[in-house]
Amino acid sequence: MRVGLYPGTFDPITLGHTDIIRRACALVDRLVIGVAINTGKGPVFSLEERVAMVEAECAKLTAETGTEIIAHPFENLLIDCAHDVGAQIIIRGLRAVTDFEYEYQMVGMNRAMDASVETVFLMAEAKYQAIASKLVKEIAKLGGDVSKFVSPSVKDQLYLKIGRD
Ligand code: ADP
């Protein structure tokens, strides 16, 4: 049984994330979406809201791909979370060279802690590559249309959260 762990903040889950999840489903038998509890990023959505949105998007992807997808909140070390959920593979998305430096360090340090867990990098389809949750939230706050970046239900929840109709 090949188990993958795709960790992140998912504040909120975007079409960039779902594109990576769809690709990861082709590589594993079970995909665990690790939703980070305590992030220094000061999430706009609560953990429960982020997990619920991930679960709703993943239900559609499970139906589409046939791969079991589970949302798993975590606040411990990523490598310990991988052990907890039985993952042999950590999945990360790469957007641009700016992501590379941080990811390079993470792989090095995770490998020093457990060399048996492999990190796999995936790139989203071109039209989704530039999407970042942080920018989606800023666009929504400034009155822009985020339909091209998140699903209709995430868009509704985002507008509700920031007090837009
Ligand atoms: P983090 O807080 O670790 O950056 P995010 O929720 O922002 O977590 O993203 C989780 C993972 O998804 C990271 O590996 C990030 O690089 C990747 N990711 C986010 N958006 C995209 C995108 N548009 N294309 C490819 N990968 C993405």
Q: Specify the CATH number for the domain of residue 81.
A: 3.40.50.620
Within-domain flag for 152: no
pLDDT at 39 exceeding the cut of 80 = no
Distance CA 132, CA 11 (A): 10
Evaluate if pTM is beyond 0.85.
Answer: yes
Domain range enclosing 12: 3-128
Ligand 1 neighbour 131 (Cβ under 6 A) = yes
Within-domain flag for 142: no
- Quick: pLDDT tens for 40-64: 878 999 999 999 999 999 999 999 9
17 Cα: distance to centroid of ligand 1 (angstroms): 6
Query: Ligand 1: which of 6, 13, 20 to mutate, most ligand atoms within 8 Å of CB?
Result: 20
Within-domain flag for 32: yes
Distance CA 85, CA 147 (A): 33
Residues found in the chain: 165
Within-domain flag for 103: yes
Ligand 1 neighbour 17 (Cβ under 6 A) = yes
With cut-offs at 50, 70 and 90, classify the pLDDT of residue 83. Answer: very high
Within-domain flag for 163: no
Query: Ligand 1: which of 95, 98, 127 to mutate, most ligand atoms within 8 Å of CB?
Result: 95
Ligand 1 neighbour 20 (Cβ under 6 A) = yes
Strand order in the sheet with 68-74: 68-74, 30-36, 3-8, 89-93, 118-122
Residue 86, phi-psi category: left (phi > 0), alpha (psi -120 to 50), beta (remainder) = left
